[in-house]
Structure 1
């Protein structure tokens, strides 16, 4: 059984040497220097791809590429600044190994990062205090009745799996991606983003993060959670200040 974990990056950055990991340049269709991609990297603009949507889909363009083009039996997605790490230590020598992955796959065919917990907000209120409300409201209709009970349940929870990080068997990924992307493509057609700033235009990546737990709950999927690390220092004071400011001002004013 072959496994490949794709490392999404939009710039040249140190990458793992372990062959388990494959760097993928996201948004490569819009790169100003398409020939500058390092040896061993791949672009998300080959084969069946949505590379030109990267500014609004974020790292999900890498997930789409892997779903459509990878021949691996197990497919994962991480980020150049975020990796799974069983010992919860930073550094590329501490990230998930093939041997560790093999052991985990004996338990479950879906591996996710540990959930992020919110203590004063629900998942829904956290989203609308950070982003425009319309997309997350509209997606409830687009997912269909079979998923709406799970939507309501997950939105009222105070924890969720974020960052579009995951490892799945081919069968599980086919089911998830085959459900996820048609919903996001339809959402793309139905919302007006003309007044969104560059950050908010990443809306389909943000919504996609929230759809994962809805899918897992509605389908009754079993999964294993493992630690992950941020390779770069996080400015939690700045993040906390921005969060409080959005909460006081009402976030994106429901637009």
Structure 2
């Protein structure tokens, strides 16, 4: 099985040695080549072939997804980040490994694809927030309101799933997945026209650089909408835990979450 998982990256770091992983410099347009810390050759770039590399400041890792959709020939395509991967499934050796060595292997990915249609990150729970209210408190609610209107106009059969996902208190986030090429094609054909219309209607020029990443963030919720429809059609979905290569400042993240919820303080940095 020809399986390739895009590793979206924008700075030099260690990359997996497993040949299944395909490091890709996202937002490469106008940038110098990117050489991983554990390699001597630069990685592939998302400004080659058919691409939207210049949209990376607002589309985030989606410029990598677009590039893979248009240019990468593989039976199975996945997307992860240089700081966040799917965790390996076999811990039977009982040994300690560095995080970069505890990621999903090619053999495990192939086994999962033999059994399931779509692999996603384990659901992230918000408890006191819905996906809609969390986005509204940390970013701007009109982004999701306009998105819903576009769905109503372009693909009204998804509207019920959209409303349901907006009300959920959990989601499969980070724009991470693993699925066969035909499903990637179906997803991208649905996703990018919605984002293009959203971009046409709301722009984003007056937002800070952090808040300007809105199309990448909205797509995290849209993925859940699309996934809901695929499950209705009988597609099987399997959740895999994420492993973080860098440490997360959980204290700052939790405080910022509560400040956004109760004090209206929107996010202006990552954690």
Instruction: Measure how far apart 1:36 and its partner are.
Output: 6.0
Which of 109, 112, 120 aligns to 1:104? It is: 112
Equivalent residue number for residue 178 of structure 2:
167
Instruction: Measure how far apart 1:154 and its partner are.
Output: 0.7
Equivalent residue number for residue 43 of structure 2:
41
Equivalent residues of 2:132, 2:141 under 8 A apart: no
Equivalent residues of 1:16, 1:92 under 8 A apart: yes
Q: Distance in 1 between matches of 2:34 and 2:238?
A: 39
Equivalent residue number for residue 178 of structure 1:
189
Q: For structure 2, list consecutive stretches of 5 or more residues without a partner in the other structure.
A: 92-96, 267-271
Equivalent residue number for residue 244 of structure 1:
258
Instruction: Measure how far apart 1:119 and its partner are.
Output: 1.0
Task: Say if 2:118 is the partner of 1:114.
Answer: no
Q: What TM-score, normalized to structure 2? A: 0.88
Equivalent residues of 1:23, 1:40 under 8 A apart: no
Instruction: Measure how far apart 1:45 and its partner are.
Output: 0.3
Which of 133, 147, 151 aligns to 1:125? It is: 133
Instruction: Measure how far apart 1:250 and its partner are.
Output: 2.7
Q: For structure 1, list consecutive stretches of 5 or more residues without a partner in the other structure.
A: none
Q: Distance in 1 between matches of 2:19 and 2:195?
A: 31
Equivalent residue number for residue 242 of structure 2:
228
Q: What TM-score, normalized to structure 1? A: 0.94
Q: Distance in 2 between matches of 1:158 and 1:30?
A: 39
Task: Say if 2:224 is the partner of 1:213.
Answer: yes
Equivalent residue number for residue 11 of structure 1:
11
Count of residues paired in the alignment: 251
Residues 31-110 of structure 1: pairs in structure 2 closer than 5 A:
31=31, 33-34=32-33, 39=41, 41-87=43-89, 91-110=99-118
- Paired residue secondary structure (1:83): strand
Equivalent residue number for residue 148 of structure 1:
159
String of CA shifts for 1:39-76, please: whole Å, max 9, x gaps.
Answer: 15100000000000000000010000000100011001
Q: Distance in 2 between matches of 1:249 and 1:210?
A: 23
Stretches (4+) displaced over 6 A: none
Equivalent residues of 1:3, 1:20 under 8 A apart: yes
Relative to structure 2, which stretch is displaced further, 173-182 or 243-252? 243-252
Q: Distance in 2 between matches of 1:36 and 1:234?
A: 24
Q: Distance in 1 between matches of 2:124 and 2:188?
A: 22
1:184/1:36 CA distance change after superposition, 3 Å: same
Relative to structure 2, which stretch is displaced further, 156-165 or 188-197? 188-197
Q: Distance in 1 between matches of 2:168 and 2:20?
A: 34
